[in-house]
Each structure stands twice: as C-alpha cells, then as structure tokens.
Amino acid sequence: MSAVRKIPATVVTGFLGAGKTTLIRHLLEQANGRRIALVINEFGDLGMDREILLGCGVQGCDDDDTSIVELANGCICCTVADEFLPTMEKLVLGANPPDAIVIETSGLALPKPLVKAFQWPEIRSRVTVDGVVTVVDAHAVAAGRFADDPDAVQAQRDADAALDHDNPLEEVFEDQLACADMVILNKADLMDEAGMDVLEQSLRARLRPGVKLVPAAFGKVDPAVLLGLDAAAEDDLDVRPSHHDGDDDHDHDDFDTLVVEFGPVDDLDAFEARLHAAIAGHDILRVKGFLDVPGKAARHLVQAVGPRIDRWYDRPWTAADNRRSHLVVIGLHGLDKAAVAEAIRSGLDVPAA
C-alpha cells in the first residue's frame, strides 16, 4: 500500500506590516487552479487581513470556510490545542482536502510553537511543514529598527526615552528569522543596491546555513520559489533556536491593540495628517482598516507601518457590510487608547454602538 501523501503547509510569518497579506494575495493570483487553503491569525478584535483577502477579486478567494479560515481569538502560537489543531483536522480530513495550506501568523506570533504543533499525532501523518517563510520589511530593517549592534541599540535608547527598556520586538523578530527556511526581503524597491547588499550580509549572519534570501517588491514572489521547499520543518526544531525555548507558555503583554470606529471621512488628506500625528505622538506600530468615503462605492483601505501610510480603494461595499470607518491600531504596552481614539476621530462623527 502506498503511503498517504502529506499536504504541504507553508507558514508565513513576519513582523507587523512586513507585507505578509500582500504576499499571500499575489500567491492566490498565481495559483493556476491549485486549491490553497488559507489559515489567517489576527492579533486584535477585527479580522482585517481576512477582509483584505476577501476583497482581492481573485477567483477562489471567496467566503468559503475551506478556502479562508480565520483564527481571531488570540495569537495562533498560544491557542494551538484549542483552535489550530481542530481547524487543521477539518481541512485535511474533509472530503476534498486542499492541495496546499498557507498559514499567515499575526505579526506578534512566534513561529516555532506553531511548527511544533505539526508533531501532534492528529495531523502529523497528514500534513508537513513545507517551509517557514519570514517576510521582512527590508527598508525598515535597514533603517535599524531591529539593530543587534549593542552600540546602535544604546544610541537609540539615548535618543528616545521610550526605548529605555528591553525591546520585546527584538525577540519576536529574531525568533522569526531563526525559524525561517526562506526570508523574503519585501519592499526592496525602496532600497538601492548597496543598501540591499549590506542588509543581506547582516541578515545572513543571523540565519541558519542554507536559508534563502529573496528580494521582492509588493510581495511578488513566484509560487514556484515560495512553495515546494520540502523542509519538513517539524522534524528539525532543534536547529531553530528561540528566545522562548524551555518556556511552557508566553504572552503578549508587551503589546496593546484597539479598534477605532467612526463615521464617514470626507477629507482624506486631512485624515491622513491626523493619523500621521497620532502615530508619531503615541509610537503606534501598525494601523490597518477601512474608511467610508461619501460618494464612493468602494472601501478605502488604510495600511500604516510606523510613519509610512498607504491607502487605496479595494472593493465595493456590499449589502452585508456594516458600512463605517474602522481601524485596528497596535502599539506597545501602555498605549493610551483613549487619546489615540480621540486623535484619530477628531472632527468625525462616532457611530452609535
């Protein structure tokens, strides 16, 4: 009797705003008839990445629970037994299992506990981790946001009192690199050749031998490069070190998240200026969401990473949508949620609950 073919699963990890959802959207556009199941994990109260993917207009990227499954009740690395394993069993034991599975972790997730879950007997015989793909915001990393150089870290701390503590983002970033089989240097279009060379040399010193570095712009990576790594990552966890090795559990008390809802936005430029001020004034890490623009049939998508804000119209509002403006905001622990909400909503109507 021939062995049952294991379904390859690709874990896509990476820090907040690195471009994971954009990468997956491009993957769907180039699927060429392959059935790819998506498991999406959100940190926060609003499933924004799922909404972005549902608005992509790609055939097969629809509201089918065997196509897109959202785990929004906490970080996927903290809810493995309660949510992730039942979801995987549903996908692989169904009558028509997918050809491949892509798992997008939240920007705060540690990939190693998730990969370890593939050792559980319930799924080990049916699924293998084809590879862990870490998406890096090349421009941000090159600017030193996650510098390992102690002198550079000290200089940052001297310049900014808010950094006078252990930075939890460093450990998240390093764990995501240490677990990777491939690192996507996204937003390479914002870098020059010399800057990319320096960044690649810096990252290679932190990666296991054989880990591929792939530059990309707008998440455009050929599926033939991204899939089919055959890493079987669940079988070599010992060579994927983590700051949390030996810990029974971890939490995300270092981060705060909130959802800000408000009414229509008539002046997009004025809103962007307010959002810039809120991000700078409260050290906000990540913003993503939609705006209701009067007279426009489509939602206005907003994505912000640090001070960099991108926005565009993605898909028409539907009758099933609750048409209102709403943003997910993520910052470090101690974020003044009331002040952030007030800064963003300034001059706008707040919808009734």
pLDDT tens digits, residue range 135-155? 999 988 888 765 333 344 345
> Residue 334: its pLDDT value, please?
84
> Residue 59: its pLDDT value, please?
43
> Residue 161: its pLDDT value, please?
46
Residue 210 carries which side chain, given as an amino acid letter? Answer: G
Identify the CA nearest to 92 among candidates 81, 83, 82, 100.
100
Contacts of 252 (CB under 8 A, 6+ apart): 43, 75, 78, 108
Rounded to whole angstroms, how far apart are CA atoms 32 and 35?
A: 9
The crossing angle, in degrees rounded to 10, of helices 268-282 and 337-345 is 160
What does residue 234 show for φ and ψ, rounded to 5 degrees?
-65, -15
> Residue 218: its pLDDT value, please?
92
Neighbours of 348 (CB within 10 A): 16
Question: What does the pLDDT look like over 13-39, one tens digit per residue?
Answer: 988 778 888 898 888 888 888 888 888
What is the average per-residue pLDDT within 38-66? 50
Give the range with max mean pLDDT: 93-97, 143-147, 243-247: 93-97
Place of tokens 């998730």: 114
Rounded to whole angstroms, how far apart are CA atoms 28 and 51?
A: 15
Rounded to whole angstroms, how far apart are CA atoms 262 and 324?
A: 7
Provide the mean pLDDT of the chain. 78
Q: Which of 41-55, 84-98, 174-188, 262-276 has the lowest mean pLDDT?
A: 41-55
Q: Which of 133-142, 273-282, 327-336 has the lowest mean pLDDT?
A: 327-336
**Degrees, nearest 5: CA angle 244-248-250:** 60
What is the four-CA torsion angle of 192, 169, 23, 122, rounded to 10 degrees?
150
> Residue 168: its pLDDT value, please?
63
**Strands lying side by side in the sheet with 284-291:** 255-262, 325-332, 284-291, 298-305, 308-316
Place of tokens 């002198």: 151
65 pLDDT higher than 70: no
What does residue 142 show for φ and ψ, rounded to 5 degrees?
-65, -25
What six digits make up the tokens of 153? 């870290």
- Per DSSP, 189 falls in state G
1 pLDDT higher than 90: no
Using DSSP bridges, classify how beta strands 100-104 and 284-291 pair: parallel, antiparallel or unpaired: unpaired
What is the average per-residue pLDDT within 209-222? 93
- Per DSSP, 81 falls in state I
242 pLDDT higher than 60: yes
What six digits make up the tokens of 155? 């200089």
> Residue 73: its pLDDT value, please?
42
Rounded to whole angstroms, how far apart are CA atoms 36 and 286?
A: 28
What is the average per-residue pLDDT within 99-124? 83
More confident residue, 16 or 176: 176
346 pLDDT higher than 80: yes
Identify the CA nearest to 258 among candidates 160, 319, 315, 339.
339
Q: Check if the beta carbon of residue 214 is closer than 8 Å to that of residue 185.
A: yes
What is the average per-residue pLDDT within 273-287? 88
> Residue 308: its pLDDT value, please?
79
112 pLDDT higher than 50: yes
What six digits make up the tokens of 187? 């937003």
> Confidence class of residue 272 from pLDDT cuts 50, 70 and 90?
very high
- Per DSSP, 348 falls in state S
What six digits make up the tokens of 90? 């549903």
- Model-wide pTM > 0.85: no
Identify the CA nearest to 348 among candidates 258, 261, 260, 263.
263
What does residue 299 show for φ and ψ, rounded to 5 degrees?
-70, 145
Give the length of the chain: 353
Contacts of 336 (CB under 8 A, 6+ apart): 282
162 pLDDT higher than 80: no
> Residue 3: its pLDDT value, please?
55
